[in-house]
Structure 1
C-alpha cells in the first residue's frame, strides 16, 4: 500500500462522514452571521452605555412598569402553561379516543400560526363585545385590554413547548413501576407523586423555562389584546419599539439587552437541568 493511500485510509478512519469539515464550517459560518453577529453587536452596544446609561434607562418608571409586567406575565403564563400542558400531554399519550390525532396536531398550531393572527383572534373572542368577553363582562371580568389578556396570549404561545417537552418522556415511560406501586398498596395519587412525577420533572422544568423565555420576547400576539396603556398594560418588547421611534437608541438597547440576558439564563438553566438531576446529557 502506497503512502498516499495509507494517509487517505487514516483520514477516513478519523472522519468517517464525508464532507464533515466543510459542512461544519458552513454551518458555523451561517450561525455566526445570522445569530452570533447580531447578538454580539447588541452586547457591544449595551456595554458601551456604561453604568450611568444603564441606570438612566432602567430607572425610568415607565421602563420598570413594562419590565415588571413582562416578567410577571411571562412567569404566570409559563406556570399555567406548564400545568395545562402536562395534562394535555398525559391525555394524548396515555389515552386512546376519537380525535386524538387531531388534538395532537392542534398543539402545534401556535408554532405555525402567525402571532399577529393569534392576537387578533384572541382579542375578537375576549374583547368586551366578543363571544366570550361579553359573557365575562356581565360579571365584571375583563380579559382583553388588561393583564389577564396578556397572560392568556402568552399561555397560547407557550403551551406547545411544555407538551412537546413532556410527550417524548411519557411515551418512553413504562407503566410497570406504576403497576408495581399499585401492587404494593399505593393509590393512584401516591403512585403519580412518587413514581411518575420524578421522571417527568426535568422535562417539565425544561418546558416551563422554554415557555417563560418565549413569553418574555413575545410581541405580535400580545400588542393587540394588551391595550398598550403606559404604566398598566405596556410590555417591554413594545416599549423597545417605542424607544426606537423616539430615537432613544440607548434606552431601547438597555431594555433589549436585559431581555436577552434573561432569555439566555433560561436557556442555560435548560442545559443544566439534566446535570442537576444526575443525568449525563439531554435526551434527543
Structure 2
C-alpha cells in the first residue's frame, strides 16, 4: 500500500505535458558541433601536421628552428604578448569609462572601438604605416625615434587590432558589477586602493584574462596590418606568418607547414596556461 501511495504521488508530480525545446536534443546538437568543428578546425590542422611530418627529423628541426625562424617566432610571440598587455591596461580603462561615465561624443567613441573589427587589415596597415612613417603625421612628431619599419611598428599594429577584444569582453561584466558594492566597501572604511584591489579587480579578473587571451591569439596570427608597417627585414622585423608566405612562394610547402605547426603548438601551450590561470582566478573570486 505504501508503494502504491508513492507511485501515485510521483505520478501527480510528473508534468502532464513535456516542455518542448526550440533547440534539438543533445545527440543532434553534439553531432552538428563535432562535424563543424572537424571540417573547420580539426581536419585542416591535421593536414598541416601531416604535411610537416613528411620530412625527416633533421629536415623538420632545420626548418622549424633555424636562426631566421627563431627570430620570427620571437618577434611574433613577443610583440603579441606586449600588445595584449598594453590592450589589457588601456582596454580596462576604456571599458570602465564607457560603462561608468557619461561624456560628450560617447556614442562616437563606442563606435570607434569596433573599427578594427570592420576595417580590412590591409587598409589598417597602410594607414598605420602612413601615420608612423618618418614623414608621417605622428612619425614626424616622435622623430628621431623610429616606429614604422621596426619591431615597434609591429607592436603598434597588433595593439590596434587587439583593443576591441579586451573592451568588449569586460563591458558586460562591468555592467553587472553594481556600484553598491563599491559604496558598501567604502562605507566600511576601505580606501580607493582597497576597493580596486579587493573588490573590482577580483570580479573582473576572469573576464580580463579572457580578453587578454583573445587579443593575444588574434595578434599572433595577424598578417595584413603588420606587413605594411613592419618593414619585413629578415632577422629584424619579419613576423612568422610572413615567413610562412615566403616559404609557400618558394614552393617549400613542408617548410611552411613546419613553421605553422610550431606556431600552433606554442599558441596552444600559451592559451592552455592562460585558461588555467583564468580558471584559478575564477575559483578564487567565487
Q: Same fold (TM over 0.5)?
A: yes
Distance 1:50 1:207 in 2: 39
TM-score when normalising by structure 2: 0.86
Which residue does 1:81 correspond to in 2? 87
SS in 1 for 2:145: coil
Higher alpha-carbon deviation: 51-60 or 226-235: 51-60
Distance 1:27 1:197 in 2: 35
Q: Deviations over 1:238-258 (max 9, x none)?
A: 000001111222221111111
Q: Does 1:38 align with 2:44?
A: yes
SS in 2 for 1:132: helix
Higher alpha-carbon deviation: 120-129 or 185-194: 185-194
Residue 262 of structure 1: how far off its partner (Å): 2.7
Contact kept in structure 2, 1:213 and 1:266, CA below 8 Å: no
Contact kept in structure 1, 2:205 and 2:282, CA below 8 Å: no
Over alpha carbons, which structure has the higher Rg?
A: 2
Distance 1:94 1:189 in 2: 18
Distance 2:167 2:249 in 1: 38
Residue 32 of structure 1: how far off its partner (Å): 2.3
Taking the TM superposition and a 5 Å limit, the aligned residue runs for 1:76-155 are 76-137=82-143, 140-155=144-159
Distance 1:168 1:269 in 2: 24
From 250, 264, 268, the counterpart of 1:264: 268
Which residue does 2:194 correspond to in 1? 190
Q: Does 1:253 align with 2:261?
A: no
Q: Deviations over 1:40-70 (max 9, x none)?
A: 2112223443532331112311111111111
Which residue does 1:180 correspond to in 2? 184
Q: Deviations over 1:107-150 (max 9, x none)?
A: 1111111100000000111111111111212xx11110011110
Which residue does 2:230 correspond to in 1? 226
Query: Which ranges of structure 1 fall in alignment gaps of 5 or more residues?
Result: 1-11
TM-score when normalising by structure 1: 0.86
TM-align CA RMSD: 2.3
SS in 1 for 2:102: coil
Distance 2:181 2:22 in 1: 41
Which residue does 1:72 correspond to in 2? 78
Residue 13 of structure 1: how far off its partner (Å): 5.0
Q: Does 1:275 align with 2:271?
A: no
Residue 33 of structure 1: how far off its partner (Å): 2.0
Contact kept in structure 2, 1:158 and 1:215, CA below 8 Å: yes
Distance 2:271 2:236 in 1: 29
Contact kept in structure 1, 2:81 and 2:216, CA below 8 Å: yes
Distance 1:272 1:168 in 2: 22
SS in 2 for 1:258: helix
SS in 1 for 2:76: helix
Higher alpha-carbon deviation: 38-47 or 258-267: 258-267
Distance 1:46 1:27 in 2: 27
